[in-house]
Amino acid sequence: MTTILDYGMGNLRSVEKAIEKLGFPVCISSELPSSGKLIIPGVGAFGAAMENLRVSRDGIKDLARNGMSIFGICLGQQLLFDHSEEHGSHDGLGLIRGEVKYFSKNLGMKVPSIGWSQLEPKNGKSLMKGIKPADQVYFVHSLYTICEDESDVAAVSNYGIEFASAVQRDNVWGCQFHPEKSSSVGLRILENFLSC
């Protein structure tokens, strides 16, 4: 069973529908599961999300340490990191080393980034199994993640600068884009996680 964590910030139903379409058992819950897999979706601000996860954050870290497969989507990927500069300075879950930063206004790009962008798979990560260079996925974001360890990068995309659009460190996975809104490419990425 895959649990989609309801912590008041997520795009829950569309993720659930995508997983149901793939034929995998799924539920939405505000409680952390004791087994199976965990998805942390997210729409909103980093600081508010971490405040909402106040009661769950140690439990999520314990689940990750004990080998549960965890997948962060959009803001959920950002929460996996050590730190974010969104609206101040906020500590994250620290499951992947690195930080979350705003796109610079000096790049000459519209912020937030909304729309389809290409993926370039990296490091042979299982999250990107079957994904080809130039496959496109759907983004809505103003910030991006920087991995301290380049081996944690599963895919990069470019929006004025190259950034880690998907990450994977052992049993902790994440994507900055919305796989549930990314057609067959997104469904393949979700299936890679659900099948691991």
pLDDT in tens, 43-82: 889 999 999 998 899 999 999 999 999 999 999 999 999 9
How far is it, in rounded angstroms, from Cα 162 to Cα 159?
Answer: 7
Catalytic residue among 74, 86, 147, 175: 74
Catalytic residue among 90, 175, 178, 191: 178
Has 31 been annotated as catalytic? no
Q: Taking the domains of the chain in order of start, what are their residue ranges?
A: 2-194
**DSSP alpha helix (H) spans, 94-159:** none
The pLDDT value recorded for residue 106 is 83
Say what the pTM is.
0.95
Q: What's the mean pLDDT in 150-154?
A: 98
**Token pair listed for 189:** 């990425």
Q: What's the mean pLDDT in 171-183?
A: 97
pLDDT in tens, 75-124: 999 999 999 999 999 999 999 999 999 998 888 888 899 999 999 999 99
The pLDDT value recorded for residue 108 is 82
- Would you say 37 and 60 are in contact if contact means Cβ atoms under 8 Å apart? no
- Would you say 177 and 124 are in contact if contact means Cβ atoms under 8 Å apart? no
Has 180 been annotated as catalytic? yes
The pLDDT value recorded for residue 109 is 85
Has 83 been annotated as catalytic? no
What number of residues does the chain have? 196
How far is it, in rounded angstroms, from Cα 81 to Cα 59?
Answer: 16
Catalytic residue among 86, 120, 180, 191: 180
DSSP β-bridge partners for residue 117: 137
Q: What is the CATH number of domain 2-194?
A: 3.40.50.880
In order of 50, 62, 63, 137, the CA distances from 58 in angstroms are 11, 6, 9, 31
